[in-house]
Amino acid sequence: MNNFWIMLSHAYFSKLKSKSFIITTAITAVGILVIANIETIIKVFDDGEMRKDQVAVIDETDVIYPLLKEEIQLINENIELELTTEAIDILEADVEEGLYEGILILKSGENGSFEAVYKSTSLTGSQVTASLQASLQHIQTSFAAQELDLTMGEIARLNAPVLFTNEAIVEGAKSEEELNQARGIVYILLFFIYFSVIMYSSMIATDVATEKSSRVMEIIISSVSPVKQMFAKIIGIGLVGLTQMIVLLLVGYFSLKSSQDLVMGGFLEFFGFGELSATIIFYAVVFFLLGYFLLCNTSSATWISR
Cβ neighbours of 107 (radius 10 Å): 13
The percent of residues in the chain predicted with pLDDT above 70, rounded, is: 70
The mean pLDDT of 64-68, rounded to a whole number, is 88
Do residues 200 and 238 lie in contact, with contact meaning Cβ atoms separated by under 8 Å? yes
Answer yes or no: is pLDDT of 147 > 70. Answer: yes
How far apart CA 55 and CA 72 sit, in angstroms, is: 11
The pLDDT value recorded for residue 301 is 55
Answer yes or no: is pLDDT of 107 > 50. Answer: yes
pLDDT, tens digit (0-9, with 9 covering 90-100), for 203-260:
766 666 666 555 555 565 566 676 777 777 777 777 887 888 888 888 877 777 765 5
Q: How many residues does the chain have?
A: 306
How far apart CA 108 and CA 292 sit, in angstroms, is: 63
The mean pLDDT of 79-96, rounded to a whole number, is 88
In order of their start, the domains of the chain are: 2-37+175-305 (no CATH), 53-159 (3.40.190.10)
Answer yes or no: is pLDDT of 264 > 50. Answer: no
Between the CA of residue 63 and those of 58, 144, 151, what are the distances in Å?
11, 15, 22
The pLDDT value recorded for residue 195 is 75
Using a 10 angstrom Cβ sphere, with 0-12 exposed, 13-18 middle and 19 or more buried, the burial of residue 217 is middle
pLDDT, tens digit (0-9, with 9 covering 90-100), for 171-180:
666 666 667 7
What's the pLDDT band for 170 if we cut at 50, 70, 90?
low
Do residues 288 and 242 lie in contact, with contact meaning Cβ atoms separated by under 8 Å? no
Answer yes or no: is pLDDT of 121 > 50. Answer: yes
pTM value > 0.75: no
Between the CA of residue 180 and those of 191, 194, 267, 271, what are the distances in Å?
17, 21, 11, 5
Do residues 273 and 184 lie in contact, with contact meaning Cβ atoms separated by under 8 Å? yes
- Check the CA dihedral 220-226-232-235 and report its sign: positive
